[in-house]
Structure formats: structure tokens, C-alpha cells
Amino acid sequence: MDLRQLRYFSALAETLNFHRAAERLHISQPPLTVAIRKLEDELGVALFERDPRGVRLTTAGLAAVAPAREALAAAEKVRESVRQGAAGLRGRLSIGFIGSAIGELLPRIVSPFRQAYPEVELALEEMNSVEIVRAIAARRLDVGLVRLPVMDSAPVAFDVIETDELVAVLPASDVLARRKTLDLGALADRSFIIYSPVSVLHATIRLACHRAGFTPRVAQEAVQVQTILSLVEAGLGVALIPGRSARFAGEGVRIVTLAEPLPIAMGIARANEPSVLAQNFVRTALAGCQD
């Protein structure tokens, strides 16, 4: 028994006429007659009664109508699921993201993606940028939102989706906090609250300080920008954070622009040969961040 036989049976059961059933199936009548006879032989029971007045379903045939329709519907569902999967309309997408993407970037991308691809299941996991890149290379993740540049040799592709600049954060009581702009070198004698080594910004900030002619005196390391801002507000030191994160600053700190801009970026990482699901996500992310 195959789906072709079930389609033939269902058409004949609905029309109770070999000629009309053949027309509906877009075949000639002899192949339909042969297929129905073969199906009855395989089942060992007559499905139709044939006489000069026409065709009628037998008791066995009546019992087979509903299961045949269900089987055909199930087969169509499988066919549609495969089509949607091939087009990236259905499936499971694993997304890695860094903590600083939670507030604004992640919702700006995920919301339109879910609207465009409602049948795609999203699995999100917070990691640092290096972990995300390595997980993508190992095929444990499909895509990831990372801080660029990622110092790792994993074979992963990147697209910049958001640019920003580092800004200085000082306690409100610091004399330099009154300035509108300052040279990074002016902070050489200050203690620094710096991102922990798991963050790409750790190396970025150390390199910027080195180019400004000093090595930062690190008083404390932290992972989250909110923690860094709190420690600065407590007077433990100064910090450099992304400008977009300045909105988290409390009343006890001041944000000062650097005279020489220090550009940074957020990117979306993917495998060099990404799945269709990943391609759709990247395309949605790039479109959303260009608006």
C-alpha cells in the first residue's frame, strides 16, 4: 500500500464513479481500475461493489475512508514541514549572546524574527564572545551576538550590526568629571574598574590605555556593566564602558566623552556555511539594525 493507492481510493470513495475519479486525479480510467483492484488484492477484501448502476463502498471500504484521509493529511503535513524546514520557516535555532546585548540589541532582533518566522523555536544562551565563537565552530550554536573583535582563530564569519564608542565613567566627585571631553591619558593616575578577561572589552581597554602611554592600575574586575557603574559610583575607580551602556549610569557618576574616539562594535557571528535558519536570522538582524 502506498500514498498513490490511498489517493486513488479516496477519490473514488468521494465520487463513486471511476470516470469522474480519474478526471479528478488527471489520469485515464484503466490505471485507476488496476490500482484499486491491486489495493483490494493486497488488503484481501473488496472495498467497492461494482454493478451496472455504479459503484458503492463496502462495509470495509466505508471503514477505510477516514483512516485513508488521515494518512493523506499526515503525508501532506510531512511534505509541508519538509518544505518549511528547507526554507528556514520551521526548526530550532540556537543563539548565543553576550550580557550587554540583553537590554536593547537582542529584543530589537528577536522580535521581528519571531514575527517573520513564528514556527522557528529559539534556544538562547548567554555566554562570552569567545565561548560563542567556539560553540558556533563546533556546531553547538547556530548564530551569536558578540563584541568585536573576537580574538580567536575559530573558522567563523562576522557581520557588524552595531557600532559604538567607549566613554569614560567617573565618580561625580572626581575633578575630571566636570569636563565635557578628556584625553584617556588624563586617567593614568586613576584606579580602573575594568571588564574581566572573559570580555573582549578587557583587551580592548588595556590596548587603548597602552597606546595612551600607560598601564591601567586595576582595582576591580567585573563582568556586567551595571556592576562596573556601581563600583565607580562607590568611588573605587574610573572605567571605560560602551556609550550605549551609559543609560544605566546612576546619579553618582558622570559620563565623559573621550577626545580621541575609541570605536567598538557588536557583531553577529555564524558558521562559514550557515544553515538556512541561521541565514534568515542574520538577514533579519542586519535589516533591523539598519533601520
pLDDT in tens, 166-207: 999 999 999 999 999 999 999 999 999 999 998 889 999 999
Contact status, residue 206 vs residue 216, Cβ threshold 8 Å: yes
Residue 218 has pLDDT above 70, yes or no: yes
pLDDT band at 95 (very low <50, low <70, confident <90, very high): very high
DSSP, res 222: E
* Residue 109: burial class (beta carbons within 10 Å; 0-12, 13-18, 19+): buried
Polymer length of the chain: 291
**Can you tell me the mean pLDDT for 82-90?**
71
- The gap between the terminal CA atoms of the chain, to the nearest Å, is 54
pLDDT above 60 (res 213): yes
pLDDT of residue 104: 80
**Is the Cα torsion angle 170, 172, 176, 182 positive or negative in sign?**
positive
Do the beta carbons of residue 137 and residue 271 sit within 8 Å? yes
Q: Position 178: which residue type? A: R
Nearest to 121 by CA among 88, 146, 98: 88
Per residue in 138-156, pLDDT (tens digit) is 999 999 999 988 877 788 9
pLDDT in tens, 53-67: 779 999 999 999 999
* 59/10 Cα distance (integer angstroms): 15
CATH 1.10.10.10 domain extents, the chain: 3-87
Q: What is the pLDDT of residues 21-42, one digit of tens each?
A: 999 999 999 999 999 999 999 9
pLDDT at 236: 96
CATH topology of domain 162-266: D-Maltodextrin-Binding Protein; domain 2 (3.40.190)
Q: Chain-wide mean pLDDT for the chain?
A: 91
Fold assignment, 94-145+273-288: D-Maltodextrin-Binding Protein; domain 2 (3.40.190)
User: Tell me: the pLDDT tens digits for 229-246?
Assistant: 999 999 999 999 999 889
pTM: 0.68
Domain limits, CATH 3.40.190.290, in the chain:
162-266
Pull the grid cell for residue 203.
583587551
CATH number of 3-87: 1.10.10.10
